[in-house]
């Protein structure tokens, strides 16, 4: 589902940000724009965010901008201020309106690269790199797949649970452009009969999926309406998911219990329900992990998606 980041390339809208156009300039995404010496392409040296706009409203906009700023800090890439990104996105949405129609759902990808090696685009570090927003309608295929049960394989990420702390240069929790490994893991899963992947550490902790966060539900027999939602701790170096964070805020308001665990495969197998969640796919129920079947209940999936519709501020234990 997530491998085609440009979901409807024909009608995509692109807006670049630079020192001369700090509020964004619409450009044609089908014409060459990027220099071949841009470190974003040469080394995957950049950061990005993928967001969902419904009916012209960007969901969790603030959380995405904060995470973009965090990734930029971790990679030491200067980026334009939040208001530049906000107005560039607004220009992109307006461009759809000017063309005769804003799609009900739009995927918005914000990208910032370190720019061309040795040739900063501006003396102002906030505009020294290359920056753009790409907006594309969410395809019918993606919409149709939402809520469909998936099978997941557990794949070793090749480092232990302490790597994020020991080796910060690995940028484990930054959303960098270097997603080739994540895409390779997805291809591996597909060629072995699975839809998606949950990465584990070499010492048996659950991390995250290549483009989603892991969320599990344990029922509470004494209070059926107040189950517990669990997600892996961030200290292992996973990306702080905005979808998980928004679900947690709404769930807490609804009186549910929340937990952040060092989770193991056994926790997944014994969960009452399990999902992979992210901004565009929303909540995908997991029906199988390796050869272990898991119960799928559309009512709970719908509940999580209702929580997301509330578009509440994102909640994490540490950020």
Ligand X SMILES: Cc1ncc(COP(=O)(O)O)c(C=O)c1O
Residues at the interface with ligand X (CB under 6 A) = 50, 208, 211-213, 239, 241-243, 277-279
Q: How far is the CB of 277 from ligand X (least distance, A)?
A: 6
Nearer to ligand X, 75 or 212 (CB): 212
| Closest CB 231 distance from ligand X, rounded Å | 10
> Which one, 33 or 319, has the nearer CB to ligand X?
319
CB of 21 vs ligand X, minimal distance in Å: 27
Least CB distance to ligand X at residue 213 (A) = 4
CB nearer ligand X, residue 201 or residue 211: 211
- CA 92 vs. chain centroid, Å, equals 20
The least distance separating ligand X from the CB of residue 152, rounded to whole angstroms, comes to 14
Of 116 and 216, CB closest to ligand X: 216
Closest residue by Cα to residue 271 from 199, 215, 317, 225: 215
Residue number, 68 or 79, with CB nearest to ligand X: 68
Least gap, CB of 302 to ligand X (angstroms): 18
CB atoms closer than 10 angstroms to residue 169: 6
- Nearest-CB residue to ligand X? 243
Beta carbon nearer to ligand X, 3 or 223: 3
């Amino acid at each position: 589902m997530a491998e085609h980041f440009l979901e409807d390339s024909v009608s995509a809208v692109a807006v670049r940000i630079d020192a001369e156009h700090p509020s964004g300039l619409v450009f044609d995404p089908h014409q060459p724009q990027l220099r071949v010496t841009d470190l974003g392409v040469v080394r995957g040296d950049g950061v990005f965010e993928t967001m969902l706009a419904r009916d012209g409203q960007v969901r969790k906009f603030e959380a995405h901008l904060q995470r973009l700023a965090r990734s930029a800090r971790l990679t030491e890439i200067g980026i334009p201020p939040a208001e530049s990104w906000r107005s560039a996105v607004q220009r992109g949405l307006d461009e759809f309106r000017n063309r005769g129609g804003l799609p009900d759902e739009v995927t918005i990808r914000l990208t910032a690269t370190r720019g061309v090696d040795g040739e900063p685009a501006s003396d102002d570090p906030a505009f020294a790199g290359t920056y753009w927003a790409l907006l594309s309608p969410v395809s019918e295929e993606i919409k149709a797949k939402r809520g469909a049960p998936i099978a997941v394989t557990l794949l070793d990420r090749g480092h232990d649970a302490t790597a994020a702390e020991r080796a910060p240069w690995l940028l484990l929790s930054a959303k960098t452009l270097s997603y080739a490994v994540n895409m390779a893991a997805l291809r591996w899963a597909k060629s072995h009969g699975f839809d998606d992947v949950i990465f584990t550490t070499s010492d048996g902790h659950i991390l995250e999926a290549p483009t989603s966060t892991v969320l599990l539900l344990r029922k509470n027999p004494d209070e059926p309406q107040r189950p517990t939602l669990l997600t892996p701790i961030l200290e292992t170096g996973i990306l702080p998911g905005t979808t998980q964070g928004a679900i947690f805020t709404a769930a807490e308001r609804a009186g549910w219990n929340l937990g952040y665990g060092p989770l193991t495969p056994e926790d997944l197998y014994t969960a009452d329900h399990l999902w992979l969640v992210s901004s565009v796919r929303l909540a995908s129920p997991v029906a199988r992990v390796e050869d272990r079947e898991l119960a799928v209940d559309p009512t709970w999936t719908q509940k999580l998606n209702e929580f997301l519709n509330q578009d509440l501020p994102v909640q994490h234990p540490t950020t």
